[in-house]
């Protein structure tokens, strides 16, 4: 009975219901009806101060949460005081006062009425039980703190995702007829703000946002923080409206003397539109938010059925992609890179291709993000690297001993814990020097854990690989960050090359070339489609080019043919 009672007591939520359970179990142990009280003396409370009753059963029920002085039964209150003052068990013919030990909240004693004398054996058992209770009480405290951690966001003190789910579930169970909506609010460019102004600044900003949302959406609304910079508002649909959601962000935030205007994107789902429980509602709202982020940044977007349809389509595409990968239906094409000074081939970029079972080509721009989101990119990335190296080995055997092979690397790959081992593993399968392998990364690595990512890049460089900054200028990276990056090469994005038909466009490209040179980097322009662009880039001092004008990405056989023809011509 003691063991069962202790383990049952541990499942109680909170100290009060725990204490209530203690009375019941002690009464059961000595075979009397549950009638008693539990008193605490708080930590540091003087002996002469009144004590609080935290649990009561039977005739004592009315005394819960009242001071012990409110009790009319003199003998009972005397027994409890004696037990607490002397930290001992007191056995009396009217009942027992058991000292339950000291725990995080203070000392606790329990009185249980019993008009029959308690045998020695029972006294001994009760003593063991009380020892257990003290331990349990500490655990209850610990469990409560754990629960707090599990349901509260420690940074801003708001309910977290778990808590929000619970609130929505409770609402669903109530079957209320007031329509409720769930809004997810995401701060635009928060990752950039964090990267530039520092994490501490970002944290303070999040707290400020949390305060404004709480002030605007008080009960019956619930405000929660469900992810890095994603907040949620759950409340009556008449409250959760576009204007109200934008209102907290109309005025700039003041953090450490700086004024910061924030823009947000939000997705709103009326609860009637989602099926299932809280977690589904959050998922649906996330779908709306995601769509809003990609198409209507800075706005509040309402749920539309089409969004869920799109999300399902993407899921189906991902399923096909997975099986295409397993069935080895993906393949690589290779696009030559040329030196501008003499148009000699310096290397190749490996680009992945997918032709689905109906023969349709699906652009990597469409499926790579899917692979990244789903984690498939980890295995796929290894496969890509392995095959690109295998092709380089073939090209080397054909005499292209100085050619390099560029492989695109997703941030998800870079941040994966197995990244360095993967590189080692794949390199170990060939005897190619890593100096011939160029890993192309994008500026988006500046958005994650920048310190950790920089360290990763350093380690990759130490292994001997070359690193290129791909699509340069399209993303976001501060100059300081770029300076710190251990890269060898800057790839000017195609969108800049296109704009060289205007004076301003030319100035920008020239500036990027200069920037690269200043940092001692090899500068290469992507997406060169016209001879004139090449000439211009050469004039500006750009080192290399890659583009349809020179060569398209080609499957290996075609590439070999292309190389052979060039050789013959020269
Ligand atoms: P990226 O790494 O910047 O690759 C260059 C893209 O520009 C390729 O598109 C290439 O086909 C295209 N391109 C090259 N020259 C020209 C040109 O003169 N004109 C035009 N209009 N386009 C040109 P692709 O193959 O569709 O790849 C798109 C993006 O998908 C790549 O951009 C890269 O970010 C990603 N990607 C492709 N293959 C892989 C891969 O194996 N792994 C990873 N992680 N990402 C890949
Ligand atoms: Mg690339
Ligand atoms: Mg690129």
Q: How many CB atoms are located within 10 Å of the residue 440 CB?
A: 19
Strand 522-525 with 544-545, pairing: parallel
The verdict on the CB of residue 335 being under 6 Å from ligand 1 is: yes
Spell out the residues 6+ positions from residue 224 whose beta carbon is closer than 8 angstroms to its own: 153, 158, 159, 160, 161, 163, 164, 167, 231, 232, 234
The verdict on the CB of residue 384 being under 6 Å from ligand 1 is: yes
Q: Is 34 helix (H, G, I), strand (E, B) or coil?
A: coil
The verdict on the CB of residue 486 being under 6 Å from ligand 1 is: no
Strand 52-57 with 90-92, pairing: unpaired
Would you state the structure tokens that stand for residue 442, as one six-digit string?
A: 């994008």
The verdict on the CB of residue 364 being under 6 Å from ligand 1 is: yes
Average pLDDT over residues 346-372: 93
Mean pLDDT of all residues belonging to the chain:
90
Give the pLDDT score at 476: 67
Query: Residue 256 burial (CB < 10 Å; 0-12/13-18/19+)?
Result: exposed
Q: Return the C-alpha torsion angle 350, 354, 360, 364, nearest 10.
A: -70
Q: Return the C-alpha torsion angle 541, 543, 549, 554, nearest 10.
A: -170
Give the pLDDT score at 392: 98
The verdict on the CB of residue 410 being under 6 Å from ligand 1 is: yes
> Which of 321, 347, 364 most suits a substitution to test ligand 1, by most atoms within 8 Å of the C-beta?
364
Span 62-99, pLDDT tens digits:
888 899 888 888 999 999 999 998 988 999 888 899 99
Residues of the chain with pLDDT > 70: what percent? 98
Average pLDDT over residues 107-127: 87
Closest ligand 1 atom to residue 470 Cα is 3
Cα(491) to centroid(ligand 3), Å? 7
Of 138-147, 404-413, 445-454, give the lowest mean pLDDT range: 138-147
Q: What ligand is nearest to the CA atom of residue 553?
A: 1
Cis geometry, peptide bond prior to residue 548 (ω within 30 degrees of 0):
no
Give the pLDDT score at 428: 96
Closest ligand 1 atom to residue 409 Cα is 44
Give the pLDDT score at 233: 98
Give the Cα separation of 343 and 494 in Å (integer).
19
Of 110-124, 218-232, 339-353, give the lowest mean pLDDT range: 110-124
Span 396-434, pLDDT tens digits:
999 999 999 999 999 999 999 999 999 999 999 999 999
- Judged against a pLDDT cut of 70, whether residue 477 lies above it is answered with no
**Spatial contact of 399 and 359, defined as CB atoms under 8 Å apart:** no
- Judged against a pLDDT cut of 70, whether residue 194 lies above it is answered with yes
The verdict on the CB of residue 470 being under 6 Å from ligand 1 is: yes
Higher per-residue pLDDT: 276 or 532: 532
Q: What ligand is nearest to the CA atom of residue 368?
A: 1
Cα(350) to centroid(ligand 3), Å? 12
Residue nearest to atom 45 of ligand 1 (CA): 408
The verdict on the CB of residue 331 being under 6 Å from ligand 1 is: no
Cα(472) to centroid(ligand 3), Å? 8
264-270 sheet: strands from edge to edge: 222-227, 230-236, 180-187, 264-270, 300-302
The verdict on the CB of residue 534 being under 6 Å from ligand 1 is: no
Would you state the structure tokens that stand for residue 93, as one six-digit string?
A: 């013919």
Span 507-563, pLDDT tens digits:
999 999 999 999 999 999 999 999 999 999 999 999 999 999 999 999 999 999 999
Cα(101) to centroid(ligand 1), Å? 69
Q: What ligand is nearest to the CA atom of residue 350?
A: 1
Higher per-residue pLDDT: 300 or 147: 300
**Spatial contact of 543 and 524, defined as CB atoms under 8 Å apart:** yes
Higher per-residue pLDDT: 443 or 534: 534
The verdict on the CB of residue 363 being under 6 Å from ligand 1 is: yes
Q: Is 302 helix (H, G, I), strand (E, B) or coil?
A: strand
Span 238-247, pLDDT tens digits:
999 999 999 9
The verdict on the CB of residue 471 being under 6 Å from ligand 1 is: yes
Closest ligand 1 atom to residue 493 Cα is 3
Give the pLDDT score at 534: 97
- Judged against a pLDDT cut of 80, whether residue 10 lies above it is answered with no
Helical (H) or strand (E) element with 147: helix 120-151
Question: Structure pTM?
Answer: 0.61
Domains of the chain: 2-151 (3.30.450.40), 161-303 (3.30.70.270), 328-569 (3.20.20.450)
Closest ligand 1 atom to residue 372 Cα is 44
Sign, CA dihedral 522-523-526-528, equals negative
Average pLDDT over residues 443-472: 90
Higher per-residue pLDDT: 45 or 186: 186
Cα(453) to centroid(ligand 1), Å? 23
Of 47-56, 325-334, 530-539, give the lowest mean pLDDT range: 47-56
Cα(338) to centroid(ligand 2), Å? 15
Would you state the structure tokens that stand for residue 339, as one six-digit string?
A: 């030196």
Residue nearest to atom 2 of ligand 1 (CA): 408
**Spatial contact of 54 and 41, defined as CB atoms under 8 Å apart:** no
Q: What ligand is nearest to the CA atom of residue 338?
A: 1
- Judged against a pLDDT cut of 70, whether residue 1 lies above it is answered with yes
Give the Cα separation of 570 and 557 in Å (integer).
20
Average pLDDT over residues 159-181: 93
Give the Cα separation of 457 and 469 in Å (integer).
11
Give the Cα separation of 555 and 545 in Å (integer).
20
Write phi, then psi, for 130 (nearest 5 degrees). Answer: -60, -40
Count of CA atoms in the C-beta half-sphere (13 A) of 26: 36
Map 318-374 to HEC letters.
HHHHHHHHHCCCEEEEEEEEEECCCCCEEEEEEEEEEECCCCCEECHHHHHHHHHHH
Q: How many CB atoms are located within 10 Å of the residue 390 CB?
A: 16
**Spatial contact of 201 and 193, defined as CB atoms under 8 Å apart:** yes
pLDDT range class, residue 116, cuts 50, 70, 90:
confident
Average pLDDT over residues 140-152: 75
Average pLDDT over residues 193-198: 85
Give 472's strand partners.
492
Average pLDDT over residues 130-147: 75
């Amino acid at each position: 009975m003691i063991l069962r009672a202790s383990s049952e007591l541990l499942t109680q939520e909170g100290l009060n219901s725990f204490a209530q359970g203690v009375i019941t179990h002690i009464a059961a142990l000595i075979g009397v009806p549950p009638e008693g009280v539990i008193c605490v003396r708080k930590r540091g409370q003087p002996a002469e101060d009144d004590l609080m009753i935290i649990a009561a059963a039977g005739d004592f029920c009315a005394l819960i949460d009242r001071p012990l002085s409110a009790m009319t039964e003199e003998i009972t209150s005397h027994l409890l005081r004696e037990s607490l003052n002397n930290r001992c068990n007191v056995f009396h013919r009217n009942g027992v006062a058991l000292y339950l030990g000291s725990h995080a909240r203070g000392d606790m004693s329990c009185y249980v009425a019993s008009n029959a004398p308690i045998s020695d054996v029972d006294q001994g058992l009760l003593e063991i039980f009380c020892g257990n209770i003290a331990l349990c009480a500490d655990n209850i405290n610990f469990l409560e703190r754990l629960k707090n951690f599990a349901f509260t966001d420690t940074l801003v003190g708001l309910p977290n995702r778990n808590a929000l789910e619970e609130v929505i579930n409770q609402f669903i169970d109530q079957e209320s007829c007031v329509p409720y909506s769930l809004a997810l609010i995401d701060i635009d460019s928060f990752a950039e703000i964090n990267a530039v102004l520092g994490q501490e600044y970002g944290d303070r900003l999040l707290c400020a946002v949390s305060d404004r949302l709480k002030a605007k959406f008080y009960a019956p609304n619930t405000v929660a923080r469900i992810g890095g910079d994603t907040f949620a508002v759950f409340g009556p649909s008449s409250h959760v409206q576009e204007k109200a959601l934008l209102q907290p962000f109309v005025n700039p935030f003041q953090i450490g003397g700086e004024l910061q205007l924030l823009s947000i994107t939000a997705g709103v789902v009326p609860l009637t539109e989602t099926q299932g429980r809280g977690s589904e509602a959050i998922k649906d709202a996330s779908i709306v938010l995601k769509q809003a982020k990609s198409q209507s940044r800075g706005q509040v977007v309402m749920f539309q059925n089409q969004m869920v349809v799109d999300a399902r389509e993407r899921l189906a595409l991902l399923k096909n992609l997975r099986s295409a990968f397993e069935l080895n239906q993906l393949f690589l094409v290779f696009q030559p890179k040329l030196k501008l000074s003499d148009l000699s081939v310096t290397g190749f970029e490996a680009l992945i291709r997918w032709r689905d079972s109906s023969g349709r080509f699906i652009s990597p721009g469409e499926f790579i993000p899917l692979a990244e989101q789903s984690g498939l990119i980890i295995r796929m990335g290894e496969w890509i690297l392995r095959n690109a190296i295998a092709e380089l080995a073939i090209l080397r055997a054909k005499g292209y001993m100085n050619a390099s092979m560029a492989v695109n690397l997703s941030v998800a790959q870079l941040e994966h814990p197995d990244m360095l081992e993967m590189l080692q593993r794949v390199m170990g399968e060939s005897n190619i020097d890593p100096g011939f392998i160029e890993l192309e990364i994008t500026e988006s690595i500046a958005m994650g854990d920048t310190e950790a990512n920089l360290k990763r890049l350093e380690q990759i460089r130490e292994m001997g690989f070359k690193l290129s900054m791909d699509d340069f200028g399209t993303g976001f990276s501060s100059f300081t960050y770029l300076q710190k990056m251990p890269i060898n090469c800057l790839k000017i994005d195609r969108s800049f090359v296109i704009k060289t038909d205007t004076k301003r466009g030319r100035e920008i490209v020239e500036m990027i070339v200069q920037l690269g040179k200043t940092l001692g980097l090899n500068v290469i322009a992507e997406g060169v489609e016209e001879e004139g662009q090449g000439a211009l880039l050469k004039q500006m001092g750009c080192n290399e080019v890659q583009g349809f004008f020179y060569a398209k990405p080609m499957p290996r056989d075609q590439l070999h043919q292309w190389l052979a023809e060039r050789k013959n011509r020269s």
